[in-house]
Amino acid sequence: MNGQKIRRAVSGLTVWVLASAVLGGQTAGRSGGPPQTEGAQIQQVRVALGHGQAAEARRLAAAIPGAAGRDFASALVDIFEGKDHEARPKLEPLARVNIVGDAALELGLLEIRHGEREQGWRRLDPIAAVRTFAGPDDYYRLARAARGIHEYLLANDAYNKVQNVARADIQAEWGDMQLQRHKPEEAGPSYRQALAADPAWIPAMVGLARALVDESPEQADALMVKAQKQAPNDPNVWLFAAEQQIQREDKKGAVEALDKLAAARPDTVDEFALRAVVAYANHDAAGVEAALAKLATIDKRSALGLRRLGEQSAREYRFEDAADFARKATAHDPDDPFAFFDLGLYLMRTGDEAGARLALERSWKLDNSSKATKNLLDLLDDIDARPNAVSPMETITSGDLILKFSRKQAAVLKTYAVPLAEEAMKTFTDRYQFTPKGPILIEVFPAHDQFAVRTMAFPGIVGALGACFGQVVAMDSPTARDPGEFSWQATLWHELAHVYTLQLSKYRVPRWLTEGISVFEEHRRQPAWGRELTLEFADTFGRGRNFGVRKLPDAFKDPSKLALAYFEASLLVEHLVALNGDAGLRTLLLAYGDGARDADAFARAFGKSVDDVETSFKAFLDQRYSALSKALADPPSKVDPANLGALRLRAQEAPGNFASQHALGVALVKAGQLNEARAPLERAAQLAPEASGDDSPHAILAVIAEKSGDTARARRELRALLTHDHANVNAARKLASLSTDPSAGADLDFALRLVADLDPFDTNVHGQLGRRLFAEGQYQPALTEFRAALALGPPNLAEAYTDIGETLFKLGRTPEAKRQTILALEQAPTYVRAQDLLLAILGKH
């Protein structure tokens, strides 16, 4: 069936305006006098349904004088209420009279809903082939028919023709199609346009809530509250409510919502697909089977139940299971492009990129209009370095690790990433006494949007730096963001910790725990990592707005709280480790893996109740953050930032208040009183040494010291700043530039190391750092730096090869040393240093 489909477009064809409209006149949401035509009367029924007023719609339908119009309108209400069996006999005679009319459309869609796909497609095909348009209804009818037969581009063309029409029904359905096709950013405006045309249009409210739920859950909730209030029995409302409860792991709430859906619109595939999901979440295999069996009685061709189960498995980070469900879905409905897309997406998350490509190519064949599918296939072309790849990648294997980097970046990144990943694996294997299932695939993308596509199939997720799917890690490379914006090494460490927590817990670890452990592991590897939000947290804590043990899981569901939730989770993990060591943490993960709930898991791991831990955690936070949070309190009074006298007075009155000291210091600097600025800034630095950025006390003190010629002091301040502000590459570069004095070797080493870590594509740093490490006898790290320098295209190849050869010789790797030295001499045959090295390697001293 699909193989015979031909891409058709509305645009470009001659538009014939019919003299008489079939259903003209009233538009959805438009109020006015009594309806003049049958079409307008039917439209009133549609409007009532759009407002969730089924009874009113029924009343309006019954009042239509003409039998045909009355039957059709009545069928619309039947469909709304899930009474397809009653709608069908009303629609069939009307569809025979006009095979391209509204009744035929509704009947075709009804047939597809009930698995009579060929019949439904045959009925919709002529409607989608119509090219005579008298008004928006004709485009709308064509769009719905085209969508029904998976002609999405055609449907979109038709919707585009009516994009400025103020019709809530049209715009909301266009939004639905965009949402179905993973385009919430395009669906949102359509829904908003629908609500502008009719603020009471329930499908638009529900649709907009769906589009916003990830980005702005508060707005989504507000829309749903409004929708439920206006239309408490609308099935669309309860369907979305059920989806939401499932997302929020509220299975009881989900069942309640599904019951309400069933009452409003019984026997839908949507309902039973979600009932299967709830049963799956409850580990109720029989319930899953029962729900799927019931779904099959409605539409035996539908793979929706299996797809939903795949989504739920993926939500639970069980990507193997998700792929299994998606695979079953593709077998069940080989014409469903979404099922193949899901399979491709999940297989990418399991690391089976070859299998993913096959599935995605099949999806593309079924629907070559899907941006999501194209994104993933394009990315796979890059990953597989196909000839048409835009940014081909290179694969490096190390034991159980498979690392993929952009070909242009591989030479540099592998010198850093491979040893770091190996170190992480060894550290975590020892710490958690667990060897994860491999291979572990690590993909490092040079552009953030590539990472986003790898993760979600679409560009975006700007806040995310990396993702772990258990055996697959995807992340931003240092070039994906501006230097200094993040530490890519901390990200790699973080994501690899997830490999252990996910696998050790059989993918059942709660999000707060896996994120908390990953952030805490960052901190263990490097004290400044994972502690970037210390001041923000202390401030929040001081205001009593932190989450605590019980509320932490919910904080992870709110994007606005996410950053602090990560931070507090890491503190909780630190506290848990203090309670019972790494063994306790491991036990906790195993307990969750066994399906234990919090109370049981905490008891097994720490011998304490959740409340006990809540109490001890509070004490832990008090002990650590009370002083800092006190220092970060609001200043005692508001003062004009230019009024030095008032600022001085306030600073004297509040010596323990960071803001008061800092504001005075900043004002004095602005006034050119650098010497006077030192004292309040020093005080501020003592009160909150974790303050970071160019306006932090240490950063300003460094500037003052440099201006006054006190380079040693400037270096001290920068070192203090970088102790916490670990990703501040500009401060590190500044420190390096101030460390030319031989006595500043330690500072220079520190600064160069940090610059090389944060911005490994800095062409100047590696050779310099390598030479310092070599001079200190640190040959292996020096080799890493020299190799990175070579990979970046050094100004002098002969020197670069000789550096490497010399280091390899020191490491006793004589054959490699000789090879590198000869490479140097190929560049520069008379290069004395290389000649002497060659002779030394050959023992010809």
What is the separation of C-alpha 597 from the centre of its chain, rounded to a whole number of angstroms?
A: 27
Quote the least distance from Cβ 829 to other proteins, whole Å. 4
DSSP 555: H
CB contact at 8 A, 388 and 426: no
Quote the least distance from Cβ 796 to other proteins, whole Å. 6
Quote the least distance from Cβ 693 to other proteins, whole Å. 21
- DSSP for 65-114 reads SSHHHHHHHHHHHHHHTT-HHHHHHHHHHHHHH-TTSHHHHHHHHHHHHT
Quote the least distance from Cβ 490 to other proteins, whole Å. 26
Q: Which is nearer to other proteins, 273 or 792 (CB)?
A: 792
Q: Which is nearer to other proteins, 199 or 795 (CB)?
A: 795
Residues near other proteins, by CB under 8 A: 763, 795-799, 822, 825-836, 838-839, 842, 844
CB contact at 8 A, 618 and 612: no
CB contact at 8 A, 126 and 100: yes
Quote the least distance from Cβ 484 to other proteins, whole Å. 15
Q: Which is nearer to other proteins, 334 or 829 (CB)?
A: 829
Per the listing, tokens 């050779």 go with 767
The amino acid present at 56, given as its one-letter code, is E
Q: Which is nearer to other proteins, 243 or 799 (CB)?
A: 799
CB contact at 8 A, 613 and 579: yes
Q: Which is nearer to other proteins, 615 or 827 (CB)?
A: 827
Positive/negative CA dihedral, 558, 562, 564, 565: positive
Quote the least distance from Cβ 782 to other proteins, whole Å. 20
- The residues near 390 (Cβ < 8 Å, ≥ 6 apart) are 378, 381, 382
CB contact at 8 A, 68 and 56: no
The amino acid present at 3, given as its one-letter code, is G
Query: What does DSSP say about strands 401-406 and 393-398: parallel, antiparallel, or unpaired?
Result: antiparallel
- Tokens coding 344: 């491709």
Q: E strands along 399-493, which residues?
A: 401-406, 440-445, 466-468, 472-476
- DSSP for 612-672 reads HHHHHHHHHHHHHHHHHHHHTSPPSS---TT-HHHHHHHHHH-TT-HHHHHHHHHHHHHTT
Kindly tell me the burial class for residue 514, based on how many C-beta atoms sit within 10 Å of its own C-beta (0-12, 13-18, 19 or more). Answer: buried
Q: Which is nearer to other proteins, 595 or 795 (CB)?
A: 795
Q: Which is nearer to other proteins, 118 or 482 (CB)?
A: 482
Q: Which is nearer to other proteins, 774 or 831 (CB)?
A: 831
Quote the least distance from Cβ 409 to other proteins, whole Å. 17
DSSP 16: B
Q: How far apart are CA 23 and CA 41, in angstroms?
A: 9
Q: How far apart are CA 305 and CA 280, in angstroms?
A: 11
The amino acid present at 537, given as its one-letter code, is F
